Structure 1
Amino acid sequence: MTNKRKIVLFIAESLDGYIATKDDSLEWLFKVEGEGDNGYSEFYETVDTILMGKRTYDWLIEAENENFPYKNKECYVFSRTSKGKNENVEFVNEDIKSFADKLKKIPGKNIWVVGGGELLHYFIKEKLIDEFIITIAPTIIGSGIPLFKEIDFEYELVLKDVRRFNQFATLYYELK
């Protein structure tokens, strides 16, 4: 039996394609009227490992007042400067592709790439994401941190589902 563990991007973006404003604000996102938790709990049960960049980790720690939201998951933070572990995460400073390939071979649930923009770009550039779950907010913010940066190839996906959570539309894609 082959391991079906996947690397999944689960993220929200503005209608014009940004995941945050230039100053890392998500205030625009929280103004949108959703439905329940917009599918978050359902998704969260499908993952046991979380990957994020150091900037995203620092933002989370500040935004959550030191209350780390992923305590029951294995969390890795890619960082060029921080090393070792703390009670919530392990800092990783190694080749991202090799590390991701190694994680996919370990039995378990799916692996969630939380962000941020630089880490996402690398995962997309290296075609490491197996599923994209993108929630679109009906807000145009004009500028900020784009979900997709410029790449020099096509990434072919198949639309698997579309769900509505009040004002949010969630698109579910798999790698073709």
Structure 2
Amino acid sequence: MSNNRKLVLYIAISLDGYIATEDDSLEWLFKIEGEGDNGYSEFYNTVDTILIGRRTYDWIIEKEKGKFPYKNKKCYVFSKSENDKNENVEFISQDVAEFTNKIKSLDGGNIWLVGGGNLLHSFIKEKLVDEFIITVAPILIGHGIPLFNKNDFELELKLKGMRRFNQFVELHYVVK
């Protein structure tokens, strides 16, 4: 492993740009016929560190009924209220850019940014995201939690590749 680590957003969205409904449901996503695990295992094997927002972490713990799905990875949860750790994650309350630049400089695999919305906005604004792997589901859900917040900046991307997983399309972009 090397310290040429990349911070990668890997996420699924509806065709109209939402990552979940307003009540945090992903039921719409599981109605669509994919292919195998839609490339998840292949991607998961490239990362050794995961960054999660507190809201997403709480959602994972609730939906997985306390069974943490990323036990074999180093996981950090950005939280304004907690600064501790448990057997699965370390809670981080420090500056996003400072912390992320520190771990990007360490030896290791890629870093997965899990979740979206406000945390993602902070990472993009600080130019910390190196790649975007976005899997688009063929459904319009009309409203919900958007992947991208309104931005007061521009970010140019270059298409690295695309793949089809039955009804899903994966778009892979790198930051120019």
TM-score under structure 1 length normalisation: 0.97
**Counterpart contact for 2:116–2:148, Cα < 8 Å:** no
Match of 2:171 in 1: 171
Q: Distance in 2 between matches of 1:11 and 1:55?
A: 16
Residue number in structure 2 paired with 1:92: 92
Gaps of 5+ in 2: none
**Cα root mean square deviation, aligned:** 0.9
In the TM superposition, residue 116 of structure 1 has moved relative to its aligned partner by 3.4
Deviation per residue, 1:110-144 (Å, 9 max, x gap): 00000131111111121110000000000100011
CA distance in 2, matches of 1:47, 1:144: 28
> How much does 1:154 deviate?
1.4
Distance 1:81 1:135 in 2: 32
Matched residue SS, 1:127: coil
CA distance in 2, matches of 1:116, 1:155: 16
Structure 1 partner of 2:51: 51
- What is the total number of aligned residue pairs between the two structures? 175
In 2, the alpha carbon distance for the partners of 1:127 and 1:30 equals 32
The secondary structure found in structure 2 opposite 1:152 is coil
Separation in 1 of the partners of 2:58 and 2:3? 32
Q: Which runs of 4+ in 1 moved over 6 A?
A: none
Shift of 1:3: 3.0
Displacement of 1:33 in angstroms is 0.3
Deviation, 1:20, is 0.5
Quote the residue 1:62 is aligned against.
62
Question: 1 CA distance for matches of 2:125 and 2:140?
Answer: 26
- Specify the SS of the correspondent of 2:111: strand
Deviations 1:22-74 (A, max 9, x none): 11000000111000000000000000000011110000001001110000000
Q: Which amino acid aligns with 1:141?
A: I
Measure the CA separation in 1 of the matches of 2:69 and 2:85: 16
Mapped partners of 2:73, 2:3: distance in 1: 19
- Structure 1 position 153, deviation (Å): 1.9
Does the 8 Å CA contact 2:4/2:105 hold for their aligned counterparts? no
Percent of counterpart pairs with the same letter? 69
> Given that residues 133 and 171 in structure 1 are in contact (C-alpha distance below 8 angstroms), is that contact kept between their aligned partners in structure 2?
yes
Aligned to 1:133: 133
The equivalent of 1:107 in structure 2 is 107
Question: Residue in 2 aligned with 1:20?
Answer: 20
Between the aligned partners of 1:83 and 1:154, the Cα distance in structure 2 is: 32
